[in-house]
Structure 1
């Protein structure tokens, strides 16, 4: 996950600490707040998908992909697609109506948006945040 944050920050250090991220991940997993799917190749972690349970009046219960990361050297090898298929299977087992993902900033992340569209996602808007 640290590699994802570092990549998103570009030339600027992310400022995140691996031990802090590990502690947060452990707490969220233990509480059942998230489901994490890991991809590996020959015992080496190659990708991760983090899935959250959400609910709304318009969709009922659904899942949100809050993180999806594949190491650069393993991209275009089907790992991201496999993680999405696994997340969709979990969503169906849980009776969720859909999966959602935040819209990446365009044009900088056009390749990411195209990846999601190739995997069946459609545009329904974007998200904003209020930091508390």
Structure 2
């Protein structure tokens, strides 16, 4: 099993796994998600150094990804990291891939000088396993996350 820091050669694999994540989260929007320019967005974000990502690969099969970006807030004491996407293919979810990816995020956060990592997760009543996974890894629930679309 390889853990690869994503570069130009892995952007297509990364965007494919992000698509799988989005379809899993919103299956009713599959047609819309299929038409999203995920590869182009990922390429642009990497080119501008707005995100970092890691990919787990085994025998030429891409099994999981994590993406990170930097945020800033007074409450956080300055800059911190946020996990944008974390996805492991369903058939590999009990094989510690998520744990490996979160460890990569922690290592990157320390390298960047961040004091914390934050992550948005689905509500506990919808995805209790996800919440328990993060809690086992030392994350604490701090409340719901909301969004407002500007377009």
Q: Which category describes the TM-score, using the shorter chain as reference length?
A: over 0.9
Instruction: Write out the 4+ residue segments of structure 1 that deviate beyond 6 Å after TM superposition.
Output: none
Within a 5 Å distance, the mapping from 1:89-104 to structure 2 comes to: 89-104=107-122
TM-score between both structures, scaled by the size of structure 1: 0.93
Q: Where does residue 26 of structure 1 map in the other structure?
A: 43
Aligned length in residues: 132
1:14: how far off?
5.0
1:58 Cα deviation (Å)?
Answer: 1.4
Contact 1:2 1:18 in 2 (8 A): no
* Consecutive unaligned residues in structure 2, runs of 5 or more: 1-17
Residues 8-32 of structure 1: per-residue CA shift (max 9 Å, x gap): 1135525123671001000001101
What is the RMSD of the two structures over their aligned residues, measured on CA atoms? 1.4
Supply the distance in 2 between the matched residues of 1:18 and 1:69 (Cα, whole angstroms): 20
Relative to its length, the structure with more helix (as a share) is: 2
| CA contact 2:66–2:87 (8 Å) conserved in 1 | yes
